[in-house]
Amino acid sequence: MIDKGSQKSILALDVGQVRIGVALIKKGDWAAHEYLTLLNDEQFEGKLKNIIDEFQISEIIVGNPRNIDSNETVQTRYVQNFARLHLEKFKLPLQFVDEFLSSHQAKLILEQTKKTFTKADIDKVAARIILEDYLNSLK
């Protein structure tokens, strides 16, 4: 949560090899929201472009996986390469936010609801956590 409405629309991604969780905060909103989960396939870029256009996104935040010692992992390199190949072409500011166990944290949050959830739900909640961490770092 931020202490005044967001000055711009920001998108956050929790990038995985199968799915990509998406969260956003729209200009004027007070909090980050889970949006959806996209498949990491050949249609991803087109779907992401539609989201960027629809919400007039001005910045992309990407969770940068780290291990318990804050070191890079195989997944860190995968995410950074993914960003170079699929996100830089949108010509928007791109920020990496170190994340550790965001998916685990998301799963714990969803378990507290006592409702059935899917891996896709975990991914979009993880994206929201990444975006919240980024917004909190701006305070």
**What string of DSSP letters covers 97-128?**
EEESSHHHHHHHHHHHTTS---HHHHHHHHHH
Residues 12 and 33: their CA atoms lie apart, in Å, by 10
**pLDDT attached to residue 2:** 42
pTM: 0.91
The pLDDT of 57-75, averaged and rounded, is 92
**pLDDT attached to residue 22:** 98
| pLDDT tens-digit map of 92-117 | 999 999 888 788 889 999 999 999 99
The pLDDT of 107-132, averaged and rounded, is 94
> 106-112 — which CB contacts under 8 Å span 24+ positions?
none
| pLDDT tens-digit map of 5-48 | 678 999 999 999 999 999 999 998 889 999 999 999 999 999 99
Cβ proximity of 20 and 132 under 8 Å: no
| pLDDT tens-digit map of 44-61 | 999 999 999 999 999 999
For 95-112, letters b (16+ CB in 10 Å) and e give: ebbebeebbeebbebbee
For the cut 90, the answer to whether the pLDDT of residue 138 exceeds it is: no
Query: What domains are there in the chain, each with its CATH number?
Result: 9-137 (3.30.420.140)
